[in-house]
Amino acid sequence: MQPSNLENLHPFYQATVQLFEQEGWPYVPMMSDEEDALVLLTDLNLDNGEVPSLLYASYPERLLLFSSALPVTVEPPRQEAMMHFITRVNAALAFGSFDLETSDGRVQFRTALIAGDEAFPTESLRMMIHINARTFDHYLPSLQAILDGFSVESALALAQRAQNDEAG
């Protein structure tokens, strides 16, 4: 399906595009393989690096999902350490979760919300994306440390130091 048809096919399209434009987030709209689902591809320019991201919006379920990914994959020798690291991080998170797809080594951080019966939840979506970006940016140096061979404990300590620096 051509992106030019999205406006007519997806009820969330206008509100989502307006939010991305207000925030200055570049995007490429696409239709999902699923009917009535929208995907916006973007790159978030974070303090600790640029990360590919996507917004998935499914109108029938009124589901909004935002996912940011490491720009590199985790090679098999580092996957066990990465799994341990993200499991420990996930246990401390209040919103969202990291996951590792072992088949291709992709690490992503996902946040989601259900729109409910109300009108398009622009402010909730904005907040969800900002939380995703801040969380991913905070842990990006630690994720990179795992890739570089650091221990899980060292990577967790790096994240804790960064959190202390942000708070102090």
pLDDT higher than 80, residue 46: yes
pLDDT of 60:
75
Outline where DSSP puts E strands in the chain: 28-31, 37-46, 49-58, 63-69, 97-101, 106-114
- 54/52 Cα distance (integer angstroms): 7
Domain encompassing residue 87:
3-167
How do residues 50-99 score in pLDDT, each as one tens digit?
A: 999 999 988 778 888 999 999 999 999 999 999 999 999 999 999 999 99
pTM of the predicted model as reported, rounded to 2 decimal places: 0.88
CA dihedral 41, 156, 101, 138 (to 10 degrees): 0
Average pLDDT, the chain: 88
CATH of the domain at 35: 3.30.1460.10
Strand 97-101, strand 49-58: pairing: unpaired
pLDDT higher than 80, residue 2: no
pLDDT of 142:
97
**Structural domains of the chain, count:** 1
- 67/74 Cα distance (integer angstroms): 17
pLDDT higher than 90, residue 12: no
- 9/162 Cα distance (integer angstroms): 44
DSSP 73: P
- At 3, is the pLDDT very low, low, confident or very high (cuts 50, 70, 90)? very low
- At 1, is the pLDDT very low, low, confident or very high (cuts 50, 70, 90)? very low
User: Higher model confidence: residue 93 or residue 17?
Assistant: 93
pLDDT of 6:
54
What is the phi/psi pair of residue 164, to 5°?
-65, -40
pLDDT of 135:
96
